[in-house]
Amino acid sequence: MSYVTGYSAAVARLFWEEKVAGSIPATPIGHLLSKPMKIFLDTADYNAIAERYQTGLVDGITTNPTLVRKSGVNYLDFIKTLANDFAFESISAEVDGETYDVMLENANQFLNIDPSITIKLPLTKEGLIACRDLAMGGIKTNVTLCFSAAQAVMAAKAGATYISPFVGRMNDNSFSGVELVRAISGLYCAHGVETKVLAASLRDVHHVSRCLLYGANVVTLPPAVFDKMYNHVLTDAGLAIFEKDFKEING
C-alpha cells in the first residue's frame, strides 16, 4: 500500500462514516483533511526565524549544536526566547549525546524551560533508551542522525515523535537521501507507525518537494532554502510581461 493510497482511503472511510453512515468518526475528518505538509526552519538565528514567522508558513524549528555555535547564542536562553516569543508546534532542542545520564540531564534543562520542547536525541542505543523513557513520560522527541531504514525502525520502537533522516548528508556520501525518506515513509505507513518523518539536512528546493512527495510529514529547511521555495524563473518572467501589459492597459 502506498502512502498516498493509505491516506486517501482513510479520508474516504471517515467521510463515509460521518456523511453516509451518520456516525462520529474516532478521528475528526477535519484533522485528516488538514493534514498538512509541515515546514520547520533549521536554524539558531533569531532574526531569520522572526522574519519568516510573519508569513504564517513556518510550523516549527529544529536546532543543533553546530547551528547554535555558529549563531553564538546561549543554547538554553535561545530555546527560552523561542518558546516565549512564538507559537510553534514544535521546537527541537538537541541534547549532548555522550551518555544516557547526560542526555536526560540536558533534556530536563530544556523541559524546565517549557515541557512542550521536543527533545532531539542521537540515533544510538543510549539515545533510543533515553527516547523511550522520555516518550513514556509524554515528552516529544526527535531522533536525529538517521541514515538507514533499520535505524528508523528502532526509533519508532522507542516511541519517537519524529525521525530525522539526513537527506543532504546521505547525498554527500553518494547514497540517495530521498530514497531513504521513501523507504522510511513506506515502512511506517505499512505498519501504521505514528512516528513522523522529518526530512532534515535539506540543501535545495528540489529535494524538499521530493521528500514530501515520498511521504515525509515534515521538512526542515535552512532559511535560505525556505526563501527559494517561493521562486521560479518562469514566475518572474511571466510577472514581468504582465507588469508591462498592465502599464499599457493603464496608459
* Ranges within 74-133 binding ligand E4P (CB under 6 A): none
Cβ distance to ligand E4P smaller for residue 14 or 106? 106
Question: What radius of gyration do the chain's Cα atoms show?
Answer: 20
For residues 133 and 108, the answer to whether their CB atoms sit within 8 Å is no
CB 168 within 8 A of CB 201: yes
Q: Which amino acid is located at 3 in the chain?
A: Y
What residues contact 33, with CB distance under 8 A and at least 6 apart? 11
70 is catalytic: no
Q: How far is the CB of 90 from ligand E4P (least distance, A)?
A: 11
- Min dist. Cβ of residue 199 to ligand E4P (A): 9
Rounded Cα distance, 48 and 43, in Å: 8
Of the listed pieces 77-85, 107-115, 129-137, 164-172, which binds ligand E4P according to CB under 6 A?
164-172
Residues 58-77 that bind ligand E4P (CB under 6 A): 62, 64
The reply on whether position 43 binds ligand E4P by CB under 6 A is no
- Nearer to ligand E4P among residue 14 and residue 198 (C-beta): 198
Q: How many other C-beta atoms lie within 10 A of the C-beta of residue 91? A: 25
Q: Is 197 in the site for ligand E4P (CB under 6 A)?
A: no
Q: How far apart are CA 192 and CA 28, in angstroms?
A: 18
Q: Which residue from 6, 65, 168, 186 is in contact with ligand E4P, where contact means CB under 6 A?
A: 168
- Judge contact between 206 and 232, C-beta under 8 A: no
Which residues are annotated as catalytic? 120
Per CB under 6 A, residues contacting ligand E4P are: 42, 62, 64, 144, 164, 166, 168-169, 200-201, 220
